[in-house]
Amino acid sequence: MGKIMEELVLTFFIALGVVLGGSIIGSLGASLINRYPQETMVTLARQIKVWAILVALGGTFPSFHALEAGLLEGQLRAVARQLLFIMVSFGGAQIGYMLILLLKGD
């Protein structure tokens, strides 16, 4: 597998893991304070999605710097690569959210 494909797979699963892990562990905390764990799990998954994308990308600044350099210097390959990473991390976060909804029974 090529280096970029390996990075894409890791990015996808990092975003997926952040959503799943954060919402499941958060729901355990909700049960300790007498809240409904399932509702809390879905709420947390929805709120964590954006953060999962940022975590999977390794923070916002390197991605925005690469986009800026690509746009200003005419390097369309760098822009396309960053957009691909953003889409893959969004996909991982969204699938994590959908799995949480499935776990809840929606």
Provide mean pLDDT across the span 51-64.
77
pLDDT attached to residue 78: 74
Residue by residue, what is the 3-state secondary structure of 41-105? HHHHHHHHHHHHHHHHHCCHHHHHHHHHHHHHHCCHHHHHHHHHHHHHHHHHHHHHHHHHHHHHC
pLDDT attached to residue 67: 66
Which tens digit of pLDDT belongs to each residue from 79-104? 788 889 899 999 999 999 999 999 88
- Name the residue among 83, 105, 92 with its Cα closest to residue 21: 92
Which tens digit of pLDDT belongs to each residue from 11-41? 999 999 999 999 999 999 998 998 898 999 9
pLDDT at 65 over 80: no
What is the reported pTM? 0.83
